[in-house]
Amino acid sequence: MSSETAVPKQWLNVSEAAAHIGVTKNTIYAYVSKRRIPFYKIPKSQLVKFKISDLNEWLESGKVETIDEYLNPKEE
């Protein structure tokens, strides 16, 4: 049994990012080229990486309210 604690994965490559948000790799490349998705470019290379927390926040930002939420907004 290992005494090491597993560190949660933070960074994703294109394939993993596509799987995480449920789109194709081509869609990820299109989003990157149009700067529609948050990404990080590896210096002096063509490689891009995606932070899981950024992708989750990006997905959450696209939430569309239900009619009930729209008609009955919660006070914050």
* Model pLDDT, residue 19: 97
Q: Could you list the beta-strand ranges (E) of 1-76.
A: 11-12, 40-41, 48-51
* Model pLDDT, residue 33: 96
- In the chain, what are the helix, strand and coil shares in percent, each to the nearest 5? 40, 10, 45
Q: pTM higher than 0.85, yes or no?
A: no
pLDDT band, very low/low/confident/very high, at 9 (cuts 50, 70, 90): confident
* Model pLDDT, residue 52: 96
